Structure 1
Amino acid sequence: MMGALKKYRKFMLFLAIGFIYTLAYPMTAHAMHIMEGMLPPKWCIFWFVVSAPFFIYGLYRMHKIVNSDIPNAKVMLALCGAFVFVLSSLKLPSVTGSCSHPTGVGLGTVMFGPGVMSVLGVIVLLFQALLLAHGGLTTLGANEFSMTIVGPIVGYAVWKLCRAMKVRRSISLFLCAMFADWSTYVTTAFQLAIVFPDPNGGVGAALVKFLGIYAVTQIPLAIAEGLLTVIVYNLVISNDLWKESALQ
């Protein structure tokens, strides 16, 4: 038992520091997570309905993984969920009163596939909405769709494509995390643009404006997130806590 705890102490220390930081230094919640009250009721319902099938599939996938004989599966699920929570809680000021932050979904996407992330993401988004005033309950469906559905699907596609092309594992993982992050923000910008179209240019012009706001901070943040994801994943693999072929 003590040996197992020593294996995980690096991860627990990293996650504990991040968790303490998010609680000790709260920030005004004008972030990638769409705030409570920003979306009309019809759009809140729409995104809940669109996200529901992915969430149900994620529950099915998680049930299979939890009840499998894969070593450390439950611990790694918890690690991936905590990784998303910590990274997506580290909000940095952007422009025009907005904020940006990493998403952290790349790690779990590579280890468990995109389906599981929709469930882990809902848990994270609920905790952030209730404890950190980050996001909202009525906008939960929209935030889930952008960060834990579109992001992981795009990241997983990039990961599989890179591996099929014999790209090095670290580079494939870096690109997976980076594109998962960027696609999340593109989706969020679109979600806001269709609700708040530009008076002159319509949805297209509004989309360009929102993307411009996010791009200032999110491009470097996504690169940093990709590097951090590679470091954590390599630590997991090098300490024999997970096998790349576990779910294959």
Structure 2
Amino acid sequence: MTKKFTLLMMMAFVLTITPNVYAMHIAEGFLPPTWAGVYFVIAAPFVIIGLKQVRSKSSSNKDIKMLLGLVAAYAFILSAMKIPSVTGSCSHPTGTGLSAILFGPFVSSVVGVIVLLFQAILLAHGGLTTLGANTVSMGIAGPIVSYILYRALKNKNKRVAVFLAACIGDLVTYFVTSVQLALAFPGGGFGAAFIKFFSIFSITQIPLAIVEGILTVVIFEFIESHSGKELEILSEVK
């Protein structure tokens, strides 16, 4: 089973290698400096708390570090899969819903920063000046909604809870990105700008969010069947 999972992740990684990169993450230098700074300030406390939680959660069991690495790799691979939606941008899954389900929203902000930083450096996704803005959308807002949905629904139907958490969390990421772009470039008014950005993204993102929800259920059940002890420890320290 482990070999099959490793093969699946390798195939997914190969699919992310493309000659041209059109990233949905807000591109380097695209935001005005003031807005770029605002999002760094917003993201900072989440990342600081997340780092403290990573230390406390992983201190009780070293295998939790391996699990954290797995969810970070999952987020990196999924969010690097690109489907063009408009010139200069694209839609893609986010992958951070899984980390929110397993570790909570603060740790997910750390996962988001790491994933976005590596993508900016290695794949030209996003950028360093827009790292704060992209972290707010993909590493904070989406995971918060994913975590809330999972915690609210897991005792009723865990599979449905995981699916909705990943799917809706994905869509929230794009909702927040559309808000960020509309605030920075409100040509014709904020409302009109937001509708323009979000409607363009939603055409390709809605089916992608559904696919991400299904895939996250599969991965979550795999982890649940092979890392039950680690999940019990995580549930105790939340």
| Bin for the TM-score computed over the shorter chain | over 0.9
Output the CA distance in 2 between the equivalents of 1:112 and 1:26.
Answer: 34
Q: How does 1:223-242 map to 2 (within 5 A)?
A: 223-240=210-227
Kindly tell me the number of residue pairs found equivalent between the two proteins: 235
Which letter does structure 2 place at the counterpart of 1:217? T
Alpha-carbon distance, 1:241 to partner: 5.2
Shift of 1:221: 0.4
Residues 71-98 of structure 1, C-alpha deviations (whole Å, 9 max, x = no match): 6211110100000000000010114553
Residue 65 in structure 1 maps to residue 67 in structure 2: no
Counterparts of residues 207-218 of structure 1 (less than 5 Å): 207-218=194-205
Name 1:50's counterpart in structure 2. Answer: 42
Equivalent residue number for residue 35 of structure 1: 27
Structure 1 unmatched ranges of 5 or more: 1-6
Q: Which 10-residue stretch deviates more, 46-55 or 9-18?
A: 9-18
Structure 2 Cα separation of the partners of residues 223 and 150 of structure 1: 18
Q: Please say if residues 152 and 180 of structure 1, whose CA atoms lie closer than 8 Å, have aligned partners that are also in contact.
A: yes
Q: Secondary structure at the match of 2:37?
A: helix
RMSD of aligned residue pairs (Cα, Å): 1.6
Matches within 5 A, 1:38-187: 38-69=30-61, 72-163=63-154, 166-187=155-176
C-alpha distance in 2 between matches for 1:50 and 1:243: 31
Secondary structure of 1:145's aligned partner: helix
How far the C-alpha of 1:161 sits from its partner, in A, is 1.3
CA contact under 8 A between 1:26 and 1:132: conserved in structure 2?
no
1:246 counterpart SS class: helix
1:195 and 2:184 equivalent? yes
Residue aligned with 2:145, SS: helix
* Matches of 1:17 and 1:193, distance apart in 2: 36
Alpha carbons 1:18, 1:86 under 8 Å: kept: yes
Would the aligned equivalents of 2:63 and 2:230 in 1 still touch at CA under 8 Å? Answer: no
After TM superposition, give the deviation of residue 14 of structure 1 in Å: 2.1
Match of 1:20 in 2: 14
Deviation (angstroms), 1:244: 4.0
